[in-house]
Amino acid sequence: MIAQIFGAAFGLLAVILGAFGAHALKKKFTVEQQQSFETGVRYQMYHAIVLLLFGHIVDASTELVQVTTILFILGTILFSFSIYGLCLSSAFGKKLRFLGPVTPLGGLLLVGAWFLLLYQVVIS
């Protein structure tokens, strides 16, 4: 259930943020910022879909599934939202540099989630 809630919320926010980035921020962003923001939105939507499907297909009572779900959620938050923060803060003249290392940490958590998903497919 938690995977589906976050999946739906991430999907909703990806659509809103994607539209916001493409329209409201278009004149504020550089080409590089626009591309980075779109990467954050794209990865957020990919993982929204994964969480919706994963939450629907698997038995959420197992510890391995719970850890995988948490890694997908935290990885998406750290990866995508740090990109949004970097792009927005930079566009408005106060780049939050401390967010720079957060993005690869989020990516690492996503890699871990995908590894655990692969492991679960192989052992089942």
> Tens of pLDDT along 66-81?
999 999 999 999 999 9
Q: Which of the two residues, 51 and 57, has the higher pLDDT score?
A: 51
Q: Are 85 and 99 in contact (CB under 8 A)?
A: yes
Whether the pLDDT of residue 48 is over 90: the answer is: yes
User: What pLDDT score does 26 carry?
Assistant: 86
Whether the pLDDT of residue 14 is over 90: the answer is: yes
User: What pLDDT score does 59 carry?
Assistant: 81
Whether the pLDDT of residue 108 is over 90: the answer is: yes
The structure tokens 């492991």 sit at 119
The structure tokens 């080409």 sit at 31
DSSP 3-state assignment of 56? Answer: helix
Closest CA to 37 of 104, 5, 84, 94: 84
The mean pLDDT of 51-69, rounded to a whole number, is 91
Measured CA to CA in angstroms, residue 108 lies from 34, 52, 72, 85 at distances of: 23, 21, 10, 18
> Confidence band (pLDDT; 50, 70, 90) for 58?
confident
